[in-house]
Structure 1
Amino acid sequence: MKQLLMLGTLALGFAAAGGSQAPMTMPSSSPLTATAALRDPAGQSLGTATFRQVGPGMQVTVEVRGLTPGRHGMHIHEYGRCTPGIDPATNTVVPFGGAGGHFDPAMSRNHDDPQAPNRYGHGGDLPMLMVGADGVGRASFTTEKVSLTGMTGILNRSLVIHANPDDYKSDPSGMSGPRQRCGVITRNNFTVRDYFLPGPQDFPEGIAYNARKGVIYTGSAQDGTIYAVNTDTGAVSKFSEGGAVGRQSALGMKVDAQGRLWVAGGAQGTVSVLSPDGMTLKVLETPKSPVAFVNDLTITPDGTVYVTDSTRPVIYQIDRMMNLKAWLDLSTTPIKYGPGINLNGITATPDGRYLLTVQLNTGDLWRIDLRTRDVRKIMGGLTHGDGLLLEGRTLYVVRNGMQVISKVSLSADYISGTLVAEEPLMGLRFPTTLARVGNNLVVPQSQLDKLQDGTPETPFRLTRFPRF
């Protein structure tokens, strides 16, 4: 269930461990809105920015006090931290340096004006703030460079106002000078619970819930470490060390009826089976191949396991005696493999009749009949589709690069589907899959887009939220 780990070969606690439990609010169908309280370096609140999503455009209104008259550069910065840190423009520690550089969703690595397409300039490059003689600055505009959801989403990032005008050409920040005001952009009327992971390079990819033990398992795409997270206390322990036999990476995972944890091994082409106390019971190997990519798996009601490979057009089957074989040659079906990541997330229907699987590079959702091996397309449009969770006839599709979770309503025979909602939570960072915990869902914010190029936001986190 990952997309970017293969670029080289192809083109926690809740709040704090033991902390109080925040109330949770159901998502709304009303337009997304957000607010940033703008503070000076001493922490005094001196203004507010509001954000409202209206179709493809985002309406922004800013009012702030105590600035010198004239024009001031204003930008969306990458991180939601209004703390001291290193300013890349000066390479020194400055107020609000913790907000990082300008938000650059298209990785343009170029400062430009607010009308420039994101491929040419930072998405976070905004119009300047005009401050009057009374020291009050006001701005109101609509932009399509950034939004409150999707690949250009700015939730849990920062709005920063600088001391000087922006020349809209000088890298990295238009010669706009010191950072004078900062506010974290927070979604209105919505609360989530975060479980934080301890490692600076965890990149959590898979997730599974063991209800009998009350723990969430999550695995590192970087080194295969598997953590157990207590869902009540938020305490995190190491369930299995990274680099175990047959597991240099931990991708899709599921817990079976015996409490064993099944783990897809990615480029190693393996599936590992761990005991309830974390010991490796068996490592199942698919045929050796330089392009193997065992990505996700699902367990049917009779205990049979089905496994996707994102680069080889085959679905593997593991029977209850732990014998692995190639079960379906996808090259003989309507599913056509192309460059990049193909079949990704997979799940079985409760009656054990069908498999549902999503193809990341095409956005197609497929139904596979386990009796006849007949393959039919359910729907398209789910680009960047990664992990799946089926609840009755509701299918949740985690769309990693789109940074949303899509809710699909399926027909009774699972042969058609309708997209009914998309949820960005409080700002997702390349989510990969999800698991159900009680009446909530939990998603890893993997940041796999930062694995080979970029600096991830730490600590890594799993985010828990109500079903929507």
Structure 2
Amino acid sequence: MNTARMNTAQKTLVFGLGSAALLLSGLVLAGGTEPMTGMMPANLKATAAMRDAAGEVRGAASFEQVGMGMRVTVTVSGLTPGMHGMHLHEFGRCTPGVDPAENKVVPFGGAGGHFDPGGSANHDSPTAGNKYGHGGDLPMLNVGADGVGKATFTTSKDSLTGKNGVLNRSLVVHADMDDYKSDPSGKSGARERCGVILRDNFTVRDYPLPGPQDFPEGVAYDARKGVIYTGSAANGNIYAVNANTGATILFSKGGAVGRSTALGLKVDSLGRVWVAGGATGAVSILSPDGAPVATLMTPPSPNPYLNDLTPTPDGSVYVTDSTRPVIWRVRDMPNPSKMTVEPWLDLGGTPINYGPGINLNGIVASPDGRYLLTVQLNTGELWRIDTGIKAIKKVMGGLTNGDGLLLDGQTLYVSRNADGMISKVNLSADYGSGTLVREEPLAGLRFPTTLVKVGSDVVVAQGQLDKLKGGIPETPFKLTRFKTF
């Protein structure tokens, strides 16, 4: 509990006996979020049907994006009169589950713990910034003698888009008053009402994956087979998903063929699957039936990280390296034993400056193969590279946490992993300049990584790579299909 900003007595005055003051319409609760950039969808709204433990709807909550804040309106019935703790929880599940604080199955335990986008691991007041307290710490619900509780407030701790996004998470009302200091939930008692926050008038289709530790990163599509491929950053498994039915099979098991991780994926004109191997420094090629064709190693050097790749019509496959300042190339040949990974472009002394963290990430090619577009995750810069003369031009900035790219005509979709959204960029005819026109959270994204066109739709992998080395991922892992916007 952070006490530097407000002591216990002050909190009791503001949030305890005086909690009704927080329920005034239009009240803004400062939470200290990072500013959102670009253009959000107009009229971004969501709704949650508030249910009791028997599944009966006992109220509703609405959520609306208002500038940098989110307006929340809640009405719930059938509760005991008095003050009730109210919080946003991590997962979009109003099912029974284990409450870690009690180590037993409780109603709505499936919603998980409090939403904590700042990683504070601390329960605090609704006015605490997210680096000090849970983003899910909300004002209490004041229930009258008739058993009905109502609240309307605006908070900048949470949003319907971006890293503080609450879509497909849960709103939970508890049995008791919140003391705004005791971890993990302010001694607010049992979970009595729960609702999943669903975006209004927006439809997606999810493809659930079977493994409990899949962490899907790459995604590719073979239109001839109607199959979507996705690879695991955790173990190198590659799944084949029927784009029509959603049926999923293990296409190629990781590890056994020297592939301990699978990042960027592409399908070539022969139906072969190319795999960027991350820290293994390898490019793997699989036949259309999943058999290993070749494993190509980059020259030994410290800290390899092959992240994404793209084929071009002349038989080249270009590969980004996120830690070594070089773009690699494989020249496709009829005899796989003669293929090698060569350093095609040394980025030293070019406008692309490598720094700490993940550098170049997603990469795509223009249809004629003349230009490559690649995004630098740690700087948010989008670059154009001429494959003929190797000239580099900065297209634009502002795409921080840019991961996978999808080029569709003169439109570029950029998956912004830690920001939980997809950006739409309109490109000039020569791909040399771009304008950010929209930023989409879809129906709630969990660290989206790469994208692929499937018919007139787009499929994105919800990788949850922020939970790869710690934390509890939301399962099942999934790919999500949506209409282009």
When the two structures are superposed, what TM-score results if normalisation uses the length of structure 2? 0.90
Q: Residues of 1 paired with 2:268 and 2:101: CA distance?
A: 52
Cross-structure match for 2:12: none
Q: 1:342 aligns with which of 359, 363, 369?
A: 359
Cross-structure match for 2:14: none
Give the letter for the 1:93 counterpart. Answer: V
1:71 lines up with 2:71 in the alignment? no
Q: Residues of 2 paired with 1:55 and 1:274: CA distance?
A: 48
1:392 lines up with 2:406 in the alignment? no
Deviation of the 1:319 alpha carbon: 1.0
Aligned partners of 1:58 and 1:143 also within 8 Å: yes
Q: Which has the larger radius of gyration?
A: 2
Q: Secondary structure at the match of 2:75?
A: strand
Q: Residues of 1 paired with 2:408 and 2:239: CA distance?
A: 25
Cross-structure match for 2:245: 233
1:80 lines up with 2:92 in the alignment? yes
User: What per-residue deviation string (whole Å, max 9, x for no partner) do you get for residues 358-382 of structure 1?
Assistant: 0000000000011111111110000
Cross-structure match for 1:447: 464
1:434 lines up with 2:446 in the alignment? no
Give the fraction of aligned pairs with identical amino acids, expressed as a percent: 71
Give the letter for the 1:318 counterpart. Answer: V
Deviation of the 1:247 alpha carbon: 1.0
Q: Residues of 2 paired with 1:135 and 1:305: CA distance?
A: 65
Q: Secondary structure at the match of 1:316?
A: strand
Cross-structure match for 1:15: none
Q: Residues of 2 paired with 1:182 and 1:227: CA distance?
A: 34
Aligned partners of 2:40 and 2:438 also within 8 Å: no
1:408 lines up with 2:408 in the alignment? no
Cross-structure match for 2:222: 210
Q: Residues of 1 paired with 2:315 and 2:144: CA distance?
A: 70
Q: Secondary structure at the match of 1:98?
A: helix
Q: Residues of 2 paired with 1:423 and 1:28: CA distance?
A: 7
Deviation of the 1:147 alpha carbon: 0.6
Q: 2:183 aligns with which of 171, 175, 178?
A: 171
Deviation of the 1:289 alpha carbon: 2.5
Q: Residues of 2 paired with 1:308 and 1:331: CA distance?
A: 14
Q: Residues of 1 paired with 2:320 and 2:454: CA distance?
A: 24
Q: 1:184 aligns with which of 196, 202, 205?
A: 196
Q: Residues of 1 paired with 2:254 and 2:138: CA distance?
A: 43
Q: Residues of 2 paired with 1:225 and 1:152: CA distance?
A: 31
Q: Residues of 1 paired with 2:100 and 2:319: CA distance?
A: 44
User: What per-residue deviation string (whole Å, max 9, x for no partner) do you get for residues 403-426 of structure 1?
Assistant: 101000011111110000111111
Aligned partners of 1:88 and 1:172 also within 8 Å: no
Q: 1:48 aligns with which of 37, 41, 60?
A: 60
1:243 lines up with 2:260 in the alignment? no
Q: 1:306 aligns with which of 318, 327, 331?
A: 318
Deviation of the 1:28 alpha carbon: 9.5
Off by >3 Å, runs of 4+ in structure 1? none
Between stretches 350-359 and 318-327, larger displacement belongs to 318-327
Q: Secondary structure at the match of 1:432?
A: strand
RMSD: 1.1
Give the letter for the 1:377 counterpart. Answer: K
Q: Residues of 1 paired with 2:45 and 2:155: CA distance?
A: 14
Cross-structure match for 2:158: 146
Cross-structure match for 1:104: 116
Cross-structure match for 2:483: 466
Q: 1:368 aligns with which of 385, 393, 396?
A: 385
Q: Secondary structure at the match of 1:434?
A: strand
Cross-structure match for 1:457: 474
Q: 2:46 aligns with which of 18, 26, 34?
A: 34
Between stretches 242-251 and 134-143, larger displacement belongs to 242-251
1:279 lines up with 2:291 in the alignment? yes
1:224 lines up with 2:222 in the alignment? no
Deviation of the 1:320 alpha carbon: 2.2
Deviation of the 1:129 alpha carbon: 0.6
- Number of residue equivalences: 442
The structure whose RCO (Cα within 8 Å, separation 6+) is larger is 1
Q: Secondary structure at the match of 2:186?
A: coil
Q: Residues of 2 paired with 1:92 and 1:287: CA distance?
A: 52
Query: Which 5+ residue runs of structure 1 have no aligned equivalent?
Result: 1-26
1:119 lines up with 2:136 in the alignment? no
User: What per-residue deviation string (whole Å, max 9, x for no partner) do you get for residues 258-310 of structure 1?
Assistant: 11110000000000011001011111110112300011000112221000000
Query: Which 5+ residue runs of structure 2 have no aligned equivalent?
Result: 1-38, 334-338
Q: Secondary structure at the match of 1:151?
A: coil
